[in-house]
Amino acid sequence: MSAKTHITLNTGALMPIVGLGTWKSAPNKAGQAVEYALTEALYRHIDCAAIYQNEKEIGQAFKKVFSGNTLKREDVFITSKLWNSAHRKNEVRVACEKTLSDLNLEYLDLYLMHWGIATPSHWAIPTNGGQEAEYDEHGILVMEKIPIRETWEAMEELVRAGLVKAIGVANFTAPMLIDILTYATIPPAMNQIEIHPYFQQTRLIEFCQSKKIAVTAYSPLGSPGNFVAKGLPAVLEDEVINKIAQVHQKTNANILVRWAMQRGTVVIPKSITPERIKENTDVFDFELSDSEMIDIATLDRKLRFLDPYVWGKIPYFD
């Protein structure tokens, strides 16, 4: 059975629909996971970010893999993200160049603004000599007065300079997208957002896709280990997912990845475990029926796991 393996971005570039996530991949594991994914598990898409603090180790893996005979740099789609502490115009290029140097790359396929929140430069990534986050007297994360427009225009310069092929955003809401589309000379190619059966974001996906902004589903397995849904089974252990997995003789993770693909979203499950890395791409030889898609649709609990209110008392998504 054939299945779509890529989506086409608004730049015309092809992006592999399944990629490897790297958040919380410990530095001593992240490089091995990426090397395994590229050489043994046929991944052609890796999702990175400066704040994950493992780009140097992933860069070693890229160097090793791309200096071999089988894979060239242009065979792989690589994303990274600009952290909140580098939103000022003159900081954006410096941050991108640091990521390129850490990853041992000359260009990124996609560079995302990680959040629409700017924090002081000294709250940088700890390995860059930054400090812990600061909070005001109300317990709210201290932010910088930097308009998203300033950051976006600096990101557009990265495209013109050839450092990145495409730019996009992550964690953007509809009002933020409506605003950015009023001035962007290069419209965002991507909005990377939390999506899993307990948090389906159907309306936001529809809006993005109507504006030719592709969507990547992050935490597609429900980010087990990081989040627990009180009073509910883990997304990966949901009974509806179990039953569908049995029907197709696939794993629950396969069903979650396949569901994301059939909704037209890119999907980036993270793992550092070789068998799981391989398992998570075993999704191209079966199809969820319309009634199975409807059954999964009924699981929506509007249950967001990743919320800046938790880490900064910022009601970002309210």
Ligand X SMILES: NC(=O)c1ccc[n+]([C@@H]2O[C@H](COP(=O)([O-])OP(=O)(O)OC[C@H]3O[C@@H](n4cnc5c(N)ncnc54)[C@H](OP(=O)(O)O)[C@@H]3O)[C@@H](O)[C@H]2O)c1
Shortest spacing between CB 231 and ligand X, in angstroms? 20
Residues 170-189: x where in contact with ligand X by CB under 6 A, - otherwise, as a string: xx------------------
CA–CA distance, 91 with 111 (Å, rounded to integer) = 14
Residue pair 254/282 in contact by the 8 Å Cβ criterion: yes
Residue 268 lies near ligand X (rule: CB under 6 A): yes
Interface residue with ligand X, options 116, 198, 270, 281 (CB under 6 A): 270
Q: Which residues, 282 to 311, sit near ligand X by CB under 6 A?
A: 306
Shortest spacing between CB 24 and ligand X, in angstroms? 6
DSSP symbol at 235 = G
CA distances from 87 to 96, 133, 139 (A): 11, 16, 22
Structure tokens at 80: 């990274």
CA–CA distance, 235 with 253 (Å, rounded to integer) = 9
Interface residue with ligand X, options 271, 292, 296, 312 (CB under 6 A): 271
CA-nearest of 23, 20, 12 to 49 is 23
Q: Which residues, 29 to 68, sit near ligand X by CB under 6 A?
A: 47
Interface residue with ligand X, options 96, 272, 283, 299 (CB under 6 A): 272
Residue 116 lies near ligand X (rule: CB under 6 A): no
Query: Which CB atom, from 87 or from 270, has the smaller least distance to ligand X?
Result: 270
CB within 8 A of 82, min separation 6: which ones?
50, 92, 95, 96, 111, 112, 113, 114, 151, 155
The amino acid present at 203, given as its one-letter code, is: R
Q: Among 9-17, 59-67, 121-129, 262-270, which window interacts with ligand X (CB under 6 A)? A: 262-270
Q: Which residues, 13 to 32, sit near ligand X by CB under 6 A?
A: 21-24
Shortest spacing between CB 123 and ligand X, in angstroms? 17
Read off φ and ψ for residue 14, nearest 5 degrees. Answer: -90, 135
Helix (H) or strand (E) holding 38: helix 27-39
Shortest spacing between CB 184 and ligand X, in angstroms? 19
The helix/strand/coil state of 58 is: helix
Binders of ligand X: how many residues, by CB under 6 A? 31
Query: Which CB atom, from 91 or from 194, has the smaller least distance to ligand X?
Result: 194
Q: Among 142-150, 176-184, 218-226, 308-316, which window interacts with ligand X (CB under 6 A)? A: 218-226
CA–CA distance, 78 with 156 (Å, rounded to integer) = 18
Catalytic site includes residue 52: yes
Interface residue with ligand X, options 92, 253, 261, 283 (CB under 6 A): 253
The amino acid present at 210, given as its one-letter code, is: S
Structure tokens at 304: 């967001």
Residue pair 168/154 in contact by the 8 Å Cβ criterion: no
Residue pair 245/254 in contact by the 8 Å Cβ criterion: yes
CA-nearest of 137, 47, 124, 42 to 88 is 124
Residue 151 lies near ligand X (rule: CB under 6 A): no
Query: Which CB atom, from 136 or from 311, has the smaller least distance to ligand X?
Result: 311
Interface residue with ligand X, options 6, 73, 98, 276 (CB under 6 A): 276
Interface residue with ligand X, options 224, 289, 313, 317 (CB under 6 A): 224
Residue pair 256/232 in contact by the 8 Å Cβ criterion: no
* Nearest residue to the partner ligand X, using Cβ: 21
| Residue of 52, 111, 198, 218 marked catalytic | 52
Q: Report the catalytic residues.
A: 52
Query: Which residues of this chain interact with ligand X, rule CB under 6 A?
Result: 21-24, 47, 114, 170-171, 192, 218-226, 236, 251, 253, 268-273, 276, 279-280, 306
